[in-house]
Amino acid sequence: MRRKKKVLVVGGGSAGWMAAAYLDAALNHDGQSVVDVGLIESPDVPRIGVGEATIPNINHILSVIGIDQHAFMRRVDGTFKQSIKYVNWVDNDQSWYYHPFTRFRKTPIDRSAERWLMSSRSIPFTETVSPQPIICELGLSPQMLGRWDFGTELTAAYHMNALKFADYLCEIATSRGVQHYLDHVVDVEMTEAGNIAAVKTKNDLRLEADLFVDCTGFAAVLIEKTLGTRWIDCSQWLLCNRAITMHVPYEHHYPGYVRPYTTATALSSGWVWEIPLQGKRSLGYVHSSDFISEEDAERELRQFEGAHADSLSARTVHFKTGYREQAWVKNCISIGLAGSFIEPLESTGLYLSDLATVMMTEHFPFGDDMEPLAFRFNRIMANRFYEILDFINMHYCLTRRNDTPFWREIRNPERVTDRLKAKFEFWRSKPLSATDFEDQFLLGQPDTPLPSSGQFGDFRAPIDTATIFGIDSYEAILYGMDFLRAECDARYGNNRPASTVYPEVLQKLQLAPQKLPPHDVWLQRMVGMPDYSSGRT
């Protein structure tokens, strides 16, 4: 009979409580109790709360923990997210395109992209293959008020209050036996073999564990300060390093709707997220301090939002783009900001915590030898980081904007990852296909090993397997940003047929206003959002 293991999560927040709640739910099930899970968080460390947008993968975490959708949305001020709308990214002219979660594909061979490239491009690509951009423009919910009878369901994720999500997970986890310590870690005790033996606290607690999970954010108390694991800086490709954040309560200003999508609007030195919640909108101006001062960035954010934002408070969040050389070292796993960070342009912040949590559970060290488990964990986490890095980098380097120093700099070739350059060259020679991501290695892509000196014997370059962003996502961004425009003009001429929309998409759109309620109406009736439009709260 194997010995019961102890896990201590150091640090709370959404990353810490997701790790604790999921680990307990996934391993201690069906009457089994194979792991003791505890979490310690400091009451002295202020919590940072911004509106959080997710991708559909979050549904796996919620399902395993056993969280009902309606209960979840009520507790976290949740709203639906069907897509991301990008404004001003191609040109500074208020033009936009969507990255939706649902699209239609012809079978057995899908030639949607080829058909569109040979057309006039008079209709944005995603609108020809997906009903969601127009459903989003109409402000409709992705779910009906009653039983679904509208064909294929629409895929959606959520917007939520991250602090309330952490509190909700804490409540669930502690009710099931997860130990919760409110104390400040002041020292870390090590073994002769270099493992962490215990943490010591301000109130003289000594907490032992077999496995420690570092969720202490950029402070990285265990993985960096104790174990000395190097941070790999990736700011060469993503220049933004600050965010000015602001909340706009609906009591203060209600725009008359709750958008069922996230908006990312490019400004002079970065971009602004707009995340609608049930009681407020969350805004954040992600920008580069090398191109704009904090004062000017805040001024630009207030101008973007309007005069009603002048009296609202704002705060600055500093961040750094990169990842740990190894996310799992000895008996310590770093999750959340302690392990990696990429700006939230595609809502991957919680996803990376989600992935690390699921991976930790799948690779849980029931035995004493953690090395082979850590090796695979580190490889997959690094691959996934580079996959996301390429995808976010693509949004910037395809822009035609040259109206400010920031946008001119972001277009320089040295700001484009080598892997992404190879992808562009390959896709200039053929249309995208799903097999392009099969153990991806393309002609012209440098064979540069991962910068992980501690990963003995792993001399492979990072690869993109489209686990999170596959052909549908790449087509949405590439064609939304007019990739291959010049090549298609030269190849097919300027007198091309008008773009057309698949009949299946048109049929969905014709019925959508009858089947799908406005997003705010669904939220009011199904999860209890107040009716701000009528002045009743």
3-state secondary structure 479-531: HHCCCCHHHHHHHHCCCCCCCCCCHHHHHHHHHHHHHCCEHHHHHHHHHCCCC
Q: What is the pLDDT of residue 537?
A: 39
DSSP codes of every residue in 162-205: HHHHHHHHHHHHHHTT-EEEE--EEEEEE-TTS-EEEEEETTS-
What are the b/e assignments for 192-222, b being 16+ CB within 10 Å? eeebbebbebeeeeebebbbbbbbbbeebbb
pTM of the model: 0.95
Beta-strand relationship, 185-190 and 196-201: antiparallel
Q: What is the pLDDT of residue 54?
A: 95
Packed helices 58-65 and 13-27: angle between N→C axes, nearest 10 degrees: 50
Q: Which domains does the chain have, with CATH numbers?
A: 5-48+64-75+160-233+324-383 (3.50.50.60)
Element (H, E) at 39: strand 35-41
Query: 81 catalytic, yes or no?
Result: yes
How many CB atoms lie under 10 A from the CB of residue 164?
A: 18
- The residue count of the chain comes to 537
Q: Say if residues 53 and 275 touch (Cβ distance below 8 Å).
A: yes
Tokens linked to 188: 């870390």
- For residue 228, is it left (φ>0), alpha (ψ between -120 and 50) or beta? left
pLDDT in tens, 33-90: 999 999 999 998 777 777 899 999 999 999 999 999 999 999 999 999 999 999 999 9
Q: Is the pLDDT of residue 456 over 70?
A: no
Residue 94 DSSP code: S
Place of tokens 């108390």: 221
Among the listed residues 306, 250, 314, the one whose alpha carbon sits nearest the alpha carbon of residue 280: 250
Tokens linked to 443: 């002609």
Q: Is the pLDDT of residue 536 over 70?
A: no
Q: What is the pLDDT of residue 457?
A: 67
Of the residues 4, 5, 6, 81, only one is catalytic, namely 81
pLDDT in tens, 374-425: 999 999 999 999 999 999 999 999 999 999 999 999 999 999 999 999 999 9
